[in-house]
Amino acid sequence: MSVWDDVRPVIASGDQRRLVAALRGLGPEERRTVADALPGYLRSERSRRGWINAGLAYTLLLAGVATIGGPAAAATWAARSDLRGWSGDSRSAKRLAGLVAEVLGHRTPEWRAEFARRVGEGLRPNRVDEEQSLWHITARLTRDAGLPPPDGDAFVLGWIRWAVDRMPGPGDLACDPYLDTLTPRLFEADGVGALLQWEAGLPESQASWGRTLAILARDGRLKRDLLLDGCVRRFLRGGRPQDLRWFVWLHDLLEPTPQETAARLRDYLRLLPAASGPVADVAFREVRRADEDDPLAAGDFTEAAEALLFRPEKKLVRAALVWMGRTARARGRVDATLCAAATAFAHEDLDLRERAVKLAVRHAAKAADEARHQVREAAVDLPADLRALVAESCGPLDAPSAPPPPAGPPPYSPRPAPVPIASPAELAEELAAQARGTREWADTERLLAGLVEHAHRDPGGTREALARVVPDAFPWAEHVNDPLDTGHLDGGLAAGARAIVWHHLGHARSTPMSAFLRDVADADRDPAFERFRTWRIHAAVQAVGRAPVLLATPTEADGHVDPDVLVERMALLEEAGVKPSLPDLNQALLRVPRDIGADAVRRARGFTSPAGRIVAGWLGGGGLPPLDVTCAPLTLPRPTYLGYPTYRTQDVPATRVLATVTLPDDTPEVISRLCRLPQTGTWTRLFTGWLSWTGWWPSALPSQREVVAAHLLPYLPETVDDRAGQGATLLALSEADGPAGPATATALAYGLAARHRDERSAATDALLTFCSRGRLSGRELGTALATAVTLENLKLKRITEALTDAARAGAHAEIWDALAAALPGLLPTGDERPLTGLPDLVALATQCAETVGARTTIPELAPFASRPATGRLVREAARLHRTLTGPGR
Amino acid sequence: MATAQAYAYTRPSGLAGDLLGLATSGGVTGSGPAAHPHFFSGLLTRPAPAAAALLGLADVAQARYHQPRLTGMRDPVVTCNGDRLRMESFSACCGVYARLDVLQPALDGEVHERGTTNVDVIGPLREALARVGGTDPLHLAVGDDELAVTTLDGAVVEKKVPLPERWLRGFAEVQVIAAGFDLRAELGRAEAVRFLRGLPQSGRGELWAVPAGRSLRLSSRPVPGAVCLAGPQRLATAHPLLRFARALRVYGPPVTAGSPPVASAWELELPGMRYVLTLSPEVRRGFSGEGAVLESLATDEAAGDADLLGALLAFEPRVEPDVLAERSGLPLERVRAALTQLGTSGRVGYDTAEAAHFHRELPYDPDRVAAMNPRLRAARALADGGAVRFTAPGLAVVTVDGRARQVRLDGDQGSCTCPWWADHRGGRGPCKHVLAARMVHRATRADEEVASR
């Protein structure tokens, strides 16, 4: 019997003690036998069990380390990823390390050192608990050999994670063998800050690395300079706030003395301009303390002040202005303070700008001419009230430079018109592409039109081209009874393609034609527009191979169908003797623009079929007139989830802006069903239905923008916090035609308050398109904004951001109009609590008013102007009032 | 495939007194390969922006923007083009390329040699760079000679960092992509600060920066003249430089409404130097898979021309195509194609500010940099294996593993029915089927020309 037969069952048992005993007496030859058999055994066990459990992993690791001849090969074996005891249990990891030391007892010290070095180097900083055993093995062997520990980042991180079982108290750490060697490395190894970042939030009673180090420094066990320098050096190296938070906290715990701060003053100064926020706070505090103790040198003060005033954090800029103001005279640096404050005159934040000006003005009397001159230069382009302040204290100012001409919103350029699919080959390509998923409804309409047209024009060529892609694109379509049963758009495409390629299977038979004409109870999830589209898809698929063309395919990007093209298509149908489907015909009628050429009307008069005569009548009558839309806030029951303890849904009254659309009595049935709102005649409850990807809706009614907006109103408030493609919908709305009224303005308001930047930025684009086309009055938008914010608790911060973007893009005048209309509804009256974020909105209004030179009065602002300036809102409102009523530029 | 790159420096880089010593490792100089080339000694007249920009480069080299976590850092590459020093780094995620051009006004000293190598930017140096401030001039030495006296200790620095093929290829190819950029907007200091500070802190989706008034505004969709900005957080390394900024210039390829995301370059003008960040079209997308160059690489002619031109380059700060055309006797068109080829093998870079190529040799194994693009390799195999069959002019069927893909060729445009094409629609260059069809098309046309002669 060979030695392997003795050892194998012991390995398999997972009993580490027995294994160590079994390995103890082996000679070199026997060890080699075991070592050679191990890889094969591991392989077979892995394939037999599927995985290696912790017990077996540890015995395998021990057996390998004990028997493999070279230190490099043994280290590689120990570091195998399938032998990691991933339990994260420190006791078993430590025991394993002890046993490894025991089985390596017969090796030379050099062998053991080399083995430990290689295992230590193999540690990875990103791996977490699974490497605990390897860390303990390295630690144990280096310590036994009296060697210094490896100083790689991973070993340092391991020390923090695993050296002590719980958070170390001062007692544990004071006698830790690595304290002196590894403490300096805490400040260098990448990842320490991220690992310890949560300590700062622990209660004081709980032990932590930070507090323990601070205590050891207090007791003299560690040098304070080592820790303080370590923190400052770490700050200089930079990093993300979460990587530095712990060092900031440790620095605070150490409470540097004035001498210590003075010694590091240069470093603190250099941290001011670019360090991350919390670090800059600390550096500023230390600079301030050093200044208290011993006034800063002139150059240092200027460096600090200019760096602080350039910081993006308003809080820091404000604090710096306060500090500069308090110390200017006491430290004898009035001139330097004035010059530094002048650099903040161009600050974007109006409040900070005013503070900087007032700081300069306050000290101007004591300043030298040169400094006053600099202040005057910087003040030239300030608004009139601040110019007057500066002129009073520093002398007369030069005339302001001519204001740049207002840019105006960017010009609107319509999207290019869709191009029909030109050949069966292109059709095949488009079908393959759309079968992959992501597509827009406009593309799918183009594809459906292509299927119908090419199947009619060149049946053989189309079948040949599609046969190459359809089996790959829709492998399932050959085996289902009816692809339309799936109810997805994919099913529609597959059904259309199948009708061409596998025409022996026949046309899809599903006929949900009447579904649209039935009343559907669940309007929440199945609005008229979506039902109408399903009907159209089914009708289009059934036209493949039968009709020469679809009537309703858009010829413009916004969804319109050119009347001349419509007449040509209708002529083709008459010629082929084919009747257009009901949804196709009605959609085509709805897509006729308001502007119809006489030629099309004349040619249409020649149609003889019933459908042709409908088209002729419609074109002759000028299409659908703008429909009547009214908009008002309604209070209705809204299903609301109650949560704990009942987990029930209950109707709770809520108020939302809803619209009503009424149509003339002679409107065709299908069109009336699609457009009228509410479907049942009266609003009875609010929806909570979540509807996404409504971007195609405007293209269904391209000349009735307000009607589309009216249909969107019940759903849009529910999408504010989500990515539901509402931005794209608003963009399409802005590019469509027809009157824009309160419904459109309200829809836009929800988009401007979207939580996600991409949706909001699309809504801003829509706003700019409206502005440049002159289609939406700012006043209307402002009123809608105020109502929507009040009813739906929209976040003002987001709206301010979106409006700021639009103003910067050139729409100052329109944004000013909107804000002038919105503010009366948003400003608090009496003891009302002001809305969060209102001051910033008022500040934006001031900026816009300054740019366009607005001189209107807003009576609601007047009470603020006479109040003492206690809060930011009062200050901003008073400033706006001054801008509107003051002397002007 | 990732092999490791070993960097060997005779000593660490460091700042001693007012001497900034950058240690160099193996590279290529005007007079051939060198283990530790010595390029420059002299004064940096604007030390604060230079130090801050160097820190930016080091940050980029360490970043993985699509999935932030600790990563090994590949050392920046420095090129001495005679009148300027260029330092380049490429992020670990292969999506951001950063370059600092220190121009003549910021340098006052002696050029010892022209060439390219790696420089070592390590933790202690980062600290030292962060301490640089004020306006006192700083001595700079790139290379060995003076370092011996100045650096902290004499320890040899050796490190190994994995060097994946896609990283190398991306580093080389970003230059070729940048060569297609034009200036789209120029912002003054105040607008640059406001725009960059106003960017969202994070974001996966792409935004479009559209020139508006004197600044840029962010939009959700492309319009002609817009520049794609994917992952605004990838411009973060420019923020600490804003205090020195004089202007921001933005470059990008031409786009139209409905364009897919594209790459862009953001150039911050600093006193006497320029800091440029080139961003890939999406945060999770590296430059290596862009395929912008495949069409021009698919010809054999370009490879021969590139060899010819490569021998004529001498680390010029500006490579002038007409001068090269004259010296090589090649027509201008072929010189341009050959420069593209040289770009993909890492032998020329592209400077958007000057709209010109510059010569540099990436200090990595040249054979690996030049290794053929996998898509090109696959296409060649298809073309040689007879998988391409033309059924009509401009219409081919390419059969791969029994699956037929239909390829349409229409002038410069090519399209396909494969899933990869469906997903990108040409946004990442042609697929292997289109490339193969084009190769076969070109070969048959050449045959016909021979036959008709």
B161: chain A residues, CB-CB within 8 Å = none
**In degrees rounded to 5, what are phi and psi of residue A356?**
-60, -45
Rounded CA-CA distance A748/A789 in Å is: 12
Using CB atoms, pick whichever of B123, B210, B217 lies closest to residue A188: B123
Closest CA to B126 of B203, B209, B36, B61: B61
**What DSSP line would sit under A274-315, residue for residue?**
TS-HHHHHHHHHHHHHHHHHSPPPHHHHHHHHHHHHT-S-HH
Task: Measure in Å the smallest separation between the Cα of B128 and chain A Cα atoms.
Answer: 8
Which CB contacts under 8 angstroms, 24+ apart, belong to A225-228?
A: A225/A260, A226/A183, A226/A184, A227/A183, A227/A254, A228/A254, A228/A256, A228/A260, A228/A264
Tell how far CA B244 is from the center of its chain. Answer: 24
Count of Cβ atoms closer than 10 Å to residue A866 Cβ: 9
Characterise B20 by phi-psi region: left (phi > 0), alpha (psi -120 to 50), beta (else): beta
Burial B409-428 (b: 16+ CB within 10 A, else e): beeeebbbbbbebbebeebb
Structure tokens, A170: 């001062």
Closest CA to A161 of A121, A189, A200, A202: A189
CB contact under 8 A, B406 and A810: no
- The confidence score (pLDDT) of residue B148 equals 45
Using CB atoms, pick whichever of B215, B417, B419 lies closest to residue A468: B417
Rounded CA-CA distance A727/A802 in Å is: 12
Alpha helices, DSSP H, located in A175-264: 179-186, 192-196, 209-218, 224-237, 241-254, 258-263
Rounded CA-CA distance A276/A312 in Å is: 10
- B163-206 pLDDT per residue, tens: 777 888 888 888 888 988 999 999 999 889 999 998 887 776 77
Using CB atoms, pick whichever of A425, A436, A759 lies closest to residue B419: A436
Which of the residues B57, B206, B221, B395 would you substitute to probe the A interface, choosing the one with the greatest number of A C-beta atoms within 10 Å? B221
Using CB atoms, pick whichever of A188, A236, A413 lies closest to residue B131: A236
Question: Which whole number is the average pLDDT over A486-497?
Answer: 79
Residue A268 pLDDT class (50, 70, 90 cuts): very high
CB contact under 8 A, A237 and B123: yes
Residues 782-821 of A with CB under 8 A from B: 805, 808-810
Decide if A787 contacts A750 (C-beta within 8 A). no
Q: Is the pLDDT of residue A824 over 70?
A: yes
Q: Is the pLDDT of residue A16 over 90?
A: no
Q: Is the pLDDT of residue B340 over 50?
A: yes
- The confidence score (pLDDT) of residue B83 equals 87
Rounded CA-CA distance A585/B392 in Å is: 38
Task: Measure in Å the smallest separation between the Cα of A743 and chain B Cα atoms.
Answer: 23
Structure tokens, B334: 């072929």
Q: Dihedral (C-alpha) A826, A827, A830, A833: value to the nearest 10 degrees?
A: 70
Q: Is the pLDDT of residue A823 over 80?
A: yes
- Smallest CA–CA distance from B422 into chain A, residue: A433
Using CB atoms, pick whichever of A274, A758, A808 lies closest to residue B212: A808
Tell how far CA A537 is from the center of its chain. Answer: 34
Q: Is the pLDDT of residue B123 over 80?
A: no
Structure tokens, A741: 């009224």
- Name the average pLDDT for chain A: 88
- A77-106 pLDDT per residue, tens: 888 877 776 556 778 888 888 888 888 888
- A322-380 pLDDT per residue, tens: 999 999 999 999 999 999 999 999 888 889 999 999 999 999 999 999 999 999 999 98
Which of the residues B15, B194, B206, B219 would you substitute to probe the A interface, choosing the one with the greatest number of A C-beta atoms within 10 Å? B219
* 3-class secondary structure per residue, A697-716: HHHHCCCCHHHHHHHHCCCH
Tally the C-alpha atoms within 13 A of residue A177's C-alpha that lie toward its C-beta: 11
- Name the average pLDDT for chain B: 84
- A386-428 pLDDT per residue, tens: 999 999 988 888 888 766 666 788 888 888 899 999 999 999 9
Residues 270-309 of A with CB under 8 A from B: 270-271, 273-274, 299, 303, 307
Q: Is the pLDDT of residue A675 over 50?
A: yes
Task: Measure in Å the smallest separation between the Cα of A706 and chain B Cα atoms.
Answer: 23
- The confidence score (pLDDT) of residue A819 equals 97
- The confidence score (pLDDT) of residue A437 equals 75
- The confidence score (pLDDT) of residue B70 equals 65
Q: How many CB pairs under 8 A join A and B?
A: 123
Using CB atoms, pick whichever of B69, B213, B242 lies closest to residue A126: B69
- The confidence score (pLDDT) of residue A278 equals 93
Rounded CA-CA distance A306/A344 in Å is: 9
B422: chain A residues, CB-CB within 8 Å = 432-436
Helix (H, G, I), strand (E, B) or coil at A186: helix
- The confidence score (pLDDT) of residue A121 equals 81
- Smallest CA–CA distance from B243 into chain A, residue: A310
ipTM associated with this complex: 0.85
Decide if A508 contacts A542 (C-beta within 8 A). yes
A191: chain B residues, CB-CB within 8 Å = 70
Distant-in-sequence, close-in-space partners of A545: CB < 8 Å, separation ≥ 6: A455, A456, A459, A499, A500, A503, A507
Task: Measure in Å the smallest separation between the Cα of A551 and chain B Cα atoms.
Answer: 26
Characterise B379 by phi-psi region: left (phi > 0), alpha (psi -120 to 50), beta (else): alpha
Alpha helices, DSSP H, located in A474-609: 489-501, 528-543, 563-576, 582-590, 598-604
Task: Measure in Å the smallest separation between the Cα of A206 and chain B Cα atoms.
Answer: 29
Rounded CA-CA distance B313/B436 in Å is: 32
- Please list the residues that pair with B188 across neighbouring strands: B247
Residue B246 pLDDT class (50, 70, 90 cuts): very high
Least confident of A292-301, A307-316, A397-406, B251-260: A397-406
* 3-class secondary structure per residue, A102-149: HHCCCCCHHHHHHHHHHHHHHCCCCCCHHHHHHHHHHHHHHHHCCCCC
Count of Cβ atoms closer than 10 Å to residue B206 Cβ: 22
Q: What is the share, in percent, of chain A residues with pLDDT greater than 90?
A: 47
Q: Is the pLDDT of residue A671 over 80?
A: yes
Task: Measure in Å the smallest separation between the Cα of A529 and chain B Cα atoms.
Answer: 25
- The confidence score (pLDDT) of residue B403 equals 86
- B41-92 pLDDT per residue, tens: 888 888 899 999 999 998 898 888 887 776 667 888 888 888 899 999 999 8
Helix (H, G, I), strand (E, B) or coil at A622: coil
Helix (H, G, I), strand (E, B) or coil at B20: strand
Residue B350 pLDDT class (50, 70, 90 cuts): very high
Number of H helices, E strands in chain A: 46, 2
More confident residue, B92 or B146: B92
Residue B149 pLDDT class (50, 70, 90 cuts): very low
CB contact under 8 A, A238 and B215: no
Count of Cβ atoms closer than 10 Å to residue A358 Cβ: 17
Residue B150 pLDDT class (50, 70, 90 cuts): very low
**In degrees rounded to 5, what are phi and psi of residue B24?**
-115, 150
Task: Measure in Å the smallest separation between the Cα of A307 and chain B Cα atoms.
Answer: 8
Structure tokens, A839: 């001051």
**In degrees rounded to 5, what are phi and psi of residue B186?**
-135, 125
Count of Cβ atoms closer than 10 Å to residue A563 Cβ: 25
Using CB atoms, pick whichever of B126, B194, B213 lies closest to residue A810: B213
More confident residue, B346 or A251: A251
CB contact under 8 A, A237 and B421: no
Least confident of A364-373, A458-467, A705-714, B122-131: B122-131
B415: chain A residues, CB-CB within 8 Å = 429
- A597-653 pLDDT per residue, tens: 999 999 999 999 999 999 999 999 998 999 999 999 999 998 888 888 888 888 889
CB contact under 8 A, A410 and B210: yes
Which of the residues A808, A812, A815 would you substitute to probe the B interface, choosing the one with the greatest number of B C-beta atoms within 10 Å? A808
The alpha carbon dihedral of A814, A816, A821, A823 has a sign of positive
A274: chain B residues, CB-CB within 8 Å = 52, 130, 239-240, 243
Residue B291 pLDDT class (50, 70, 90 cuts): low
Closest CA to A291 of A316, A315, A265, A311: A265
Using CB atoms, pick whichever of A312, A425, A472 lies closest to residue B197: A312
A762 touches chain B (CB under 8 A): yes
A404: chain B residues, CB-CB within 8 Å = 214
Using CB atoms, pick whichever of B219, B397, B422 lies closest to residue A436: B422
CB contact under 8 A, B243 and A273: yes
More confident residue, B414 or A553: A553
CB contact under 8 A, A415 and B258: yes
Using CB atoms, pick whichever of A238, A348, A758 lies closest to residue B220: A758
Least confident of A78-92, A184-198, B168-182, B438-452: A78-92
Task: Measure in Å the smallest separation between the Cα of A304 and chain B Cα atoms.
Answer: 11
Tell how far CA A613 is from the center of its chain. Answer: 53
- The confidence score (pLDDT) of residue A821 equals 96
Q: Is the pLDDT of residue A127 over 70?
A: no
Task: Measure in Å the smallest separation between the Cα of B273 and chain A Cα atoms.
Answer: 19
Burial label for A328, CB within 10 Å (0-12, 13-18, 19+), is: buried
Element (H, E) at B279: strand B273-279
Burial A735-762 (b: 16+ CB within 10 A, else e): bbbbbbbbbbbbbbbbbbbbebbbbbbb
Using CB atoms, pick whichever of A266, A410, A761 lies closest to residue B131: A266
Residues 235-254 of A with CB under 8 A from B: 236-238
CB contact under 8 A, A429 and B408: yes
Task: Measure in Å the smallest separation between the Cα of B141 and chain A Cα atoms.
Answer: 22
A434: chain B residues, CB-CB within 8 Å = 422
Question: Judging by DSSP bridges, how do beta strands B138-142 and B19-22 pair with one another?
Answer: parallel
Q: Is the pLDDT of residue B323 over 90?
A: no
pTM for this prediction: 0.86
- The confidence score (pLDDT) of residue B1 equals 46
Distant-in-sequence, close-in-space partners of A239: CB < 8 Å, separation ≥ 6: A193, A276
Using CB atoms, pick whichever of B70, B200, B210 lies closest to residue A125: B70
Q: Is the pLDDT of residue B153 over 60?
A: no
